[in-house]
Amino acid sequence: MVGILGGLVGQAAVTKPVNNIGFSVGAKLPTNQQNKRESFFDLAMKPGKQQVLKTVIYNVTNRDIQVQTAIHTAYTNSNGVIEYVVPTKTLDASLRYPMHQVTKLQSAKVVTVPANGNKTVTAKVKMPQSQFSGVILGGWFFKRVNQKATSTVKNSMNIRNQYSYVIGLKYTEDKPPAPNLKLGKVTAGMENYHRGVFPELRNIAAVIVPNLTVKSTVTSKQAGRVVHQARKKNVQLAPNSRFRYPLLTGTKPLQAGDYHLHLVATNAAHHWIFDRDFTISPAAAKRYNQQSVDNAGLSIWWFVGAGALGTLVVVGSAWLIRNWHRRRTI
């Protein structure tokens, strides 16, 4: 079981953590740091610039620990949040310079930090030679490697807690462009075995787009009526990334047919309107309906009710057994 996986962007603690993580990290900020109050790397860059970045890993335990490090490219996850911790396998076609290609680790991927000591790790930045205007965004990831267990208990459940930090990496060259959103493909699909319709909202500019409110309406072209509406606030789009927006249908199965999507995305400074026709094929509807866990129609309240019922059964059984023993002793 994975217990806890926490990504703390910009974490730079140098004192003993208040939890049992056992280590912390701190960035050594260089002279081209733009915002001196931030604890992550917020760097002003120029074409072709090369630079070595340093981060210190602090071990506050009384034994050596191992820490895994990696450079991740930031992207927008399905919750509409900029993701630094979990790497993605697919990047938007508009992304010219992924962070993990611009920045390379110079230290080993797994480093040993001595007991009650520290270890400095380095990464080398090589900015593209060609002129670039905008932001390259990512994170420097640190995760403590689990120590091998010294013993095991037969038929027991082994619980492993995983803890991580991420120090943000933000490189700005020249003046960032204006946000530019496009609507990509709209398809039926699955998200964690929940069926729905998935529009892809693309940010094709090298700039962060903050605080979006996304409103969507799906209309059946055959029936001429609205079949789904959704609204999502506080969406943050990473530079040159795509937001696969899940419009989940819940217990309502997908129906094959022709549909129209109307999507509006707004923040304090910008307003976008998109319209797109799309089709759900009979094969796609059948496949996702069969695979969906929504078919059982179970919700969290079903589990709450089942738990309450189970508690009543246990308490009631205990009461009956106790009374039965009491009657036998009279």
Element (H, E) at 17: none
User: pLDDT of 171-229, one tens digit each?
Assistant: 999 999 999 999 999 999 999 999 999 999 999 999 999 999 999 999 999 999 999 99
Share of the chain above pLDDT 70, in %: 78
CB count, 10 Å around CB of 201?
25
| Rounded Cα–Cα distance for residues 40 and 215 (Å) | 33
Contacts from 211-215 at CB under 8 Å and sequence distance 24+? 211/235, 211/236, 211/267, 211/268, 212/80, 212/236, 212/237, 212/265, 212/266, 212/267, 213/265, 213/266, 213/267, 214/80, 214/245, 214/263, 214/264, 214/265, 215/263, 215/264, 215/265
Q: Which domains does the chain have, with CATH numbers?
A: 23-146+158-173 (2.60.40.10), 181-295 (2.60.40.10)
Residue 307's pLDDT band (boundaries 50, 70, 90)?
A: low
Residue 322's pLDDT band (boundaries 50, 70, 90)?
A: low
Average pLDDT, the chain: 85
Closest CA to 78 of 194, 161, 170: 194
Residue 160's pLDDT band (boundaries 50, 70, 90)?
A: low
- Residue recorded with tokens 């290609």: 101
Element (H, E) at 283: helix 282-291
| Rounded Cα–Cα distance for residues 326 and 323 (Å) | 5
Pairing of strands 82-83, 75-76: antiparallel
CA distances from 214 to 24, 181, 228, 229, 297 (A): 37, 12, 14, 11, 27
